[in-house]
Amino acid sequence: MRRGGRLLPGLLAAVACAALSACAAPPAETAPPSAAPETPAPIAETAPIASETPEIVRCVVIDPGHQRYGSAEQEPIGPGAAETKARVTGGTTGRYSGIPEYELNLQLGLQLRAILEARGYRVVMTRTDNDVDLSNAERAALAAEAGGDVLVRIHANGSDDPAANGAMTICMTPESPYNSALYPQSYALALSILDALTARTGCRREPVWETDSMSGINWSTIPVTIVEVGYMTNEREDLLLATDAYREQAALGIADGIDQYFAALSEEAARGAAGQTGGGA
């Protein structure tokens, strides 16, 4: 199902972030080693080990958006692009909480890492500190080099309209001049995270925004999405995001969406395999 539309006018004001790219991952199949078939047979034999599909460990790269000091130096917004943008900015700031976005993004990213690791993922962070100097293009490159299957960029929104609230996710358009081949998977990732995030937190659901204006998405060579977890310019949402408890729900929702994305990939792979062996007709 695809509910996401293209960009909503209202949102624009908001997005204070840029996105990076992602990675593609092989379906992670965990075939639980079937308990050794208990044969009535006596002890003797070494029962042949049931052939098992090796477990695939998926790698999620988390990019907590921004950093303490932005860098106004320019970089192309995508491979071969004439247009440039600041390498990285400082992001927005909680109008009521006073918390800088780069700090919120890092805290949420670390909570997400803990949840994903507990669920068996390999997790790589583009940064674990606010005092770094990493451009959006560099973050995308780092995600691919790390062997990431997907790149999840964590951001929070801002708007001139204090009433604006809710979560959205972002990916490239199907016509992206940079990495359109990653659109189907990136869109699927963006959609499943948005659904699960809004289900967990109960926040308003904005659409999946498809745009080719985000350097971090454009430079990505693996499936990628930006998660705008809420508006730091909305009093209620800003103050909620400042609490560990709400961020934990948001992190759980993002993790659920990632689970669902990989589960769908695995199902697709299984169907593909079944189709192949099915042969004929």
Stretch that binds Zn ion, among 61-69, 131-139, 140-148, 235-243 (CB under 5 A): 61-69
Are the C-beta atoms of 18 and 126 separated by less than 8 Å?
no
Considering only the C-alpha atoms of the chain, give the largest distance between any 2 of them, rounded to a whole number of Å. 75
Query: Could you say whether residue 265 binds Zn ion (CB under 5 A)?
Result: no
CB of 230 to Zn ion, least distance (A): 12
CB of 15 to Zn ion, least distance (A): 7
CB of 217 to Zn ion, least distance (A): 13
CB of 202 to Zn ion, least distance (A): 22
Whole-number Å distance between alpha carbons of 92 and 137: 20
Q: Shortest CA distance to 140 belongs to which of 228, 215, 82?
A: 215
Figure out which of the listed residues 14, 16, 189, 265 binds Zn ion, where binding follows CB under 5 A.
16
Whole-number Å distance between alpha carbons of 101 and 8: 22
Figure out which of the listed residues 127, 139, 153, 155 binds Zn ion, where binding follows CB under 5 A.
155
CB of 165 to Zn ion, least distance (A): 16
Figure out which of the listed residues 4, 65, 207, 230 binds Zn ion, where binding follows CB under 5 A.
65
CB of 17 to Zn ion, least distance (A): 3
Instruction: Tell me which amino acid residue 168 is.
Output: M
Please name every residue paired with 154 in a beta bridge, in sequence order, or none if there are none.
64, 227
Figure out which of the listed residues 4, 64, 78, 91 binds Zn ion, where binding follows CB under 5 A.
91
**Cα-based distances in Å from 270 to 258, 265, 267, 279:** 18, 9, 5, 15
**Phi and psi (nearest 5°) for 85?**
-145, 165
Cβ-Cβ contacts under 8 Å for 7 (sequence gap 6 or more): 207, 209, 210, 211
Residue closest to Zn ion, measured at CB: 17
Query: Could you say whether residue 190 binds Zn ion (CB under 5 A)?
Result: no
Q: Tell me the per-residue interface mask from 104 to 143 with Zn ion, x by CB under 5 A, - otherwise.
A: ----------------------------------------
Which parts of this chain interact with Zn ion (CB under 5 A)?
A: 16-17, 65, 91, 155
